[in-house]
């Protein structure tokens, strides 16, 4: 079955396929970064395969990803829901969190130019700035809605309490939090509050940054600048223990007649009709595999077995180191493993 055959899901005021494409991999933190033509080829293939939800951000490649998406879409802009993010950008080669109204407005104007569009369908606050009340940041984004520069507002890496605060200022269309078999943080509040308020939960890194695939990353061969090298779950004994669970999951997927990536994505999509997933990839072959998950139907017992194999109690290591963890607003489980 093709992606076009998948039942649509709501994304704020839009309807999209359950599986979209996160574009970060094409320009940011996962190395080696593909060249521009390779990245453009993946984007063109995504559109040809029916992807109608692309997700980028000002941070990715410090603007390079928005420019790549903008230059590739061309006349096909109207075929999709286009999402980007503000509030976390690159300044003088460093990542900076800035949720001030002036910066949000400037970042939006820059994004419109880079994306070669008159309006961004869904615009997220990428991170909550601890120095700026979320109400103030969302208020600035609400002005962008009024001005016709963006159509809907989202939040990323936020807790249930923050979602409620922001939603009281302006309706929040989507919350983009990390969610997968090995990252269950949304189950501490965000998943339920999104369902309650009619907000879509957009699961980023639904494949566990590559570990929930049949070819998990060989961390020893990754360049030192690759983000995963610094992440506790990909280090030493923790990674070895997590890979042992992945092997069991892979066997379960084969038993069910799907790939591991499709099992992992199907599990995420089973968590509620208000959930969509945006895996990222640099491979057209993997893209086709991921999109296949949108039409996979797995028995409940298979999904339950997958959930029992990998969850917040069995995974080894926290998802972020101390520095990165301090930048997110999401609830967190006690360290497991």
What pLDDT score does 37 carry?
A: 96
pLDDT at 51 > cutoff 80: yes
What pLDDT score does 4 carry?
A: 86
What pLDDT score does 324 carry?
A: 84
Instruction: Please state the three-class secondary structure of 42-103 as a single string.
Output: HHHHHHHCCCCEEECCCCHHHHHHHHHHHHHHHHHHHHCEEEEEECEEEECCEEEECCCHHH
The pLDDT of 138-158, averaged and rounded, is: 98
What pLDDT score does 96 carry?
A: 96
The pLDDT of 258-264, averaged and rounded, is: 98
Assess contact for 111 and 72: CB atoms under 8 A: no
- What is the band of 335 on the pLDDT scale with cuts at 50, 70, 90? low
First to last CA, the chain: 39
pLDDT at 6 > cutoff 70: yes
- What is the band of 174 on the pLDDT scale with cuts at 50, 70, 90? very high
Percent of the chain residues past pLDDT 70, beyond the cut: 99
Cβ neighbors of 19 (< 8 A, separation 6 or more) are 3, 6, 51, 265, 269, 276, 277, 278, 279, 290, 291, 293, 294
Average confidence score pLDDT of the chain: 96
Tell me the whole-structure pTM to 2 decimals.
0.97
Percent of the chain residues past pLDDT 90, beyond the cut: 93
Extract the tokens encoding 331.
Answer: 């609830």
- What is the band of 337 on the pLDDT scale with cuts at 50, 70, 90? very low
Q: Which fold has domain 3-209+266-297?
A: TIM Barrel (3.20.20)
Burial per residue of 82-96, b for 16 or more beta-carbon CB atoms within 10 angstroms, e otherwise:
bbbbbbbbbeeeeee
The pLDDT of 239-265, averaged and rounded, is: 98
Assess contact for 311 and 40: CB atoms under 8 A: no
- What is the band of 322 on the pLDDT scale with cuts at 50, 70, 90? confident
What pLDDT score does 120 carry?
A: 98
pLDDT at 2 > cutoff 90: no
- Considering the candidates 30, 60, 123, 239, report the single residue annotated as catalytic: 60
- What is the band of 333 on the pLDDT scale with cuts at 50, 70, 90? confident
Q: How far apart, in whole angstroms, are the C-alpha atoms of residue 301 and residue 267?
A: 11
pLDDT digits (tens, 9 = 90+) for 65-81: 999 999 999 999 999 99
What pLDDT score does 334 carry?
A: 75
pLDDT at 52 > cutoff 90: yes
pLDDT at 105 > cutoff 90: yes
Asked about 60 being catalytic, the answer comes back as: yes
pLDDT at 336 > cutoff 80: no
Longest dimension (CA), the chain: 54
What pLDDT score does 1 carry?
A: 64
Cβ neighbors of 291 (< 8 A, separation 6 or more) are 3, 17, 19, 49, 50, 51
């Amino acid at each position: 079955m093709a992606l076009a055959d998948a039942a649509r899901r709501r994304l704020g005021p839009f309807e999209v396929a359950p599986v979209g494409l996160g574009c970060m991999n094409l320009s940011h933190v996962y190395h080696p970064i593909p060249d521009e033509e390779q990245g453009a080829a993946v984007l063109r293939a995504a559109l040809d395969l029916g992807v109608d939800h692309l997700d980028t951000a000002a941070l990715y490649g410090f603007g390079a990803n928005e420019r790549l998406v903008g230059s590739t879409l061309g006349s096909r802009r109207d075929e999709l829901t286009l999402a980007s993010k503000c509030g976390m950008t690159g300044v003088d080669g460093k990542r900076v969190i800035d949720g001030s109204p002036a910066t949000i407005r400037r970042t939006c104007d820059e994004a419109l130019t880079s994306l070669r569009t008159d309006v961004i369908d869904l615009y997220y606050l990428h991170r909550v700035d601890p120095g700026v009340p979320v109400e103030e940041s969302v208020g600035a984004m609400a002005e962008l809605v009024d001005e016709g520069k963006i159509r809907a507002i989202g939040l990323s890496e936020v807790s249930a309490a923050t979602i409620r605060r922001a939603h009281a200022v302006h309706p929040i269309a989507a919350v983009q939090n990390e969610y997968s078999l090995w990252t269950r943080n949304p189950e501490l509040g965000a998943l339920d509050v999104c369902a309650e308020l009619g907000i879509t939960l957009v699961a980023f890194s639904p494949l566990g940054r590559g570990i929930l695939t049949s070819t998990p990353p060989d961390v020893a061969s990754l360049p030192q600048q690759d983000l995963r090298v610094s992440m506790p779950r990909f280090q030493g004994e923790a990674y070895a223990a997590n890979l042992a669970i992945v092997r069991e999951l892979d066997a379960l997927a084969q038993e069910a007649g799907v790939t591991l990536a499709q099992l992992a994505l199907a599990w995420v999509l089973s968590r509620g009709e208000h959930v969509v997933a945006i895996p990222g990839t640099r491979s057209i072959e993997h893209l086709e595999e991921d999109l296949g998950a949108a039409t996979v139907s797995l028995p409940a017992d298979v999904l339950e077995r997958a959930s029992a194999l990998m969850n917040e109690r069995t995974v080894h290591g926290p998802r972020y180191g101390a520095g990165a963890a301090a930048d997110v607003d999401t609830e967190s489980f006690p360290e497991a493993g």
